[in-house]
Chain A
């Protein structure tokens, strides 16, 4: 293993290797903050270039892009309250309130530090676990995946902020929205009203943008002033005097245990194909809120609410590579396209990867580590300038934001119906916001709906009720019940 690591380092630290790694990182950093785009788009842009390329620079470029998309997507999540990709949805919960309190620099600094550490931990987990991952991944059947979906839905209690009933209703609406379109287990088209547009259901990007972007922009415009509304004199906008970029990494380092825990959650869940990368940051956020002291501060601009999802969503990239490399099963959308890239580079994923292609594994490890560090450093440098967006008056920022989010919404199906759904969801979620209804449970329900239905159906069809006695199911059920009880105990009411 040591020889392979040295060989990979020599190859990667060549001019060619580092140049292509930097190119991949640059594309990832540019793609990440643009709402509606994401790792899949970045991968699609780079894929044509890897044909005929040597595997070291090719891998470095693809892995570099994958690693940092989840880092730079924090900018719009923290500064504008709009998730850049599906991986930064939970970051909005505390990142945006921090920006509004004039602590954008601290939030961004902590987020990028947590992202870098999470990404490195994910890479280490990938290399350490791949020799023993086979039985672990194979032990996750449909019943366990269904129980993980149930665990995700159980986070509604945490995400509801005291409005449990409203949170439950929101999550049910999300679950129902997820049933729109073709049913997985039959030839039915559900709730499509005869339109082809709804055959594939609603896209996650569209729902996330409608739920978060429109209400936040309307709120911003209604309140007047700028995003940063720190203790500033009326009519002016300043960053809080204590808001320094260096405070972010310091704050992140004060929560080392949280970073480790969240990275572990991210890497472990990333390894499981089928659970979907979009929900991992929510789970990390929910686990952090449930297990941290003063968990009721989450959602009000708590730095821990930024650190937890950010470390998890970067760590998951390493975890998602485990099934991709070991079985050829992609753990996320991005790794699905990456799989095509690996084949183009002449790399055949499979169980022998851990023994016969250690060189490839080490190139991936080093690329992940270096890309995460490069990405975080670049974002930390750029954050100082980006955070000035918080000082721009909302009425001047709004035209740009509205054009960007509308264009992003259109990328879902490239149909004008996207725009209609976008506005309808926006009006609905604005009503939710002004009535104090929690919106994250709706998104979590929507993300988990398809998986919950599919895996419960398969479990019942294949095992009857016997799946309830599987050890994995019992273990996840116990964790879920424990989490709910812990949440209820910590609940203020």
Chain B
């Protein structure tokens, strides 16, 4: 379905101009963003497979054949994937983004809600912050501090409940660890 052509004058023209202002530019930039997003994984994999081929040169013959047997088809398949994504992107650009096949290799359905993606990155940051805290100040300090902050700020509980929750989780895991031989992460500092 192609865009309706408008002259740019009169009532229809205004409507068309508004439509152009709202749709094509943002759709184009969104499409480019989607293309970049969709290319991240195959490009990353292509890089990994190419690296594996070169790095395997340093191995003995007995050790290099298997990584190569994986990496060579990996390079070819990742290039094929990139080509398919770009082909689909071009096809999408020609037609309207509306009503595209669900089977397209550009996963538009997964990228529909950009604001949700921002939220997701925020949650990933929270998880990374915990791992960082544990890695730096250790489990016994990092866990109660992080759980208390998370519970207070994100779970929306009162400070007292957050502190109780932090103490309960830390103590619970500590008791399980003692009785099962688990080891708790030690930080660089403590």
Q: Contacts of A406 on B, CB cut-off 8 Å?
A: 130-131, 134, 185
Task: Given the known inter-chain contacts A169-B42, A221-B123, A403-B143, please indicate yes or no for A34 contacting B176, CB distance below 8 A.
Answer: yes
A37 to B182 CA separation, bound complex (whole angstroms): 8
Asked if A222 is at the interface (CB within 8 A of a chain B CB), the reply is: yes
Instruction: Tell me whether A419 and B131 are in contact (CB under 8 A).
Output: yes
Q: Are A45 and B181 in contact (CB under 8 A)?
A: yes
Residues of B within 8 A of A393 (CB): 155
Interface of A is mostly: helix
Cβ of B40: which chain A residues have Cβ within 8 Å of it? 431, 435
Q: What is the interface of chain A, defined by CB distance below 8 A to chain B?
A: 31, 34, 36-37, 41, 44-45, 162, 165-166, 168-169, 172-173, 175-176, 179, 183, 185-188, 190-191, 214, 217-219, 221-222, 393, 395-396, 398-400, 402-404, 406-407, 410-411, 414, 416, 419-420, 422-423, 426-427, 430-432, 434-437, 452-453, 456-457, 493
- Assuming A430-B120, A435-B41, A435-B110, is B131 touching A423 (CB within 8 A)? yes
B119 & A411 in contact (Cβ 8 Å cutoff) = no
**CB proximity of B98 to chain A, nearest CB, Å:** 20
Looking at the complex, which one of B107, B134, B151, B180 makes contact with A399 (CB distance below 8 Å)? B151
Q: By the criterion CB–CB under 8 Å, are B74 and A169 in contact?
A: yes
Of residues 46 to 86 in B, which have CB atoms within 8 Å of A's CB atoms?
48-49, 52, 55-56, 59-60, 62-64, 66-67, 70-71, 73-74, 77-78, 80-81, 84
- Contacting A173 at CB < 8 Å: which of B48, B111, B169? B48
* A361 CB to nearest B CB, Å: 31
CA distance A402 to B133 in the complex (A): 13
How many angstroms between the C-alpha atoms of A453 and B181 in the bound complex?
33
Q: How many A-B residue pairs have CB under 8 A?
A: 176
Would you call B74 and A172 a contact (CB within 8 A)? yes
Q: List 13 A-B contacts (CB under 8 A).
A: A169-B45, A169-B81, A172-B70, A176-B48, A190-B59, A191-B55, A191-B67, A214-B124, A214-B127, A402-B126, A407-B139, A407-B184, A436-B110
A162 to B84, CA, bound (A): 15
Most buried by B among A45, A187, A217, A221: A221
Bound-state Cα–Cα, A435 to B85, Å? 12
Contact B130 A403 (CB under 8 A): yes
Is B116 in contact with A222, judged by CB distance below 8 angstroms? yes
Residues on A with beta carbons closer than 8 Å to the beta carbon of B180: 31, 34, 37, 41, 45
Q: How far apart are A493's CB and chain B's nearest CB, in angstroms?
A: 7
Q: B58 to chain A: closest CB distance in Å? A: 8
A176-B70, A183-B60 known; 5 new pairs, CB 8 Å cut-off, are A222-B116, A406-B134, A407-B182, A423-B127, A430-B120
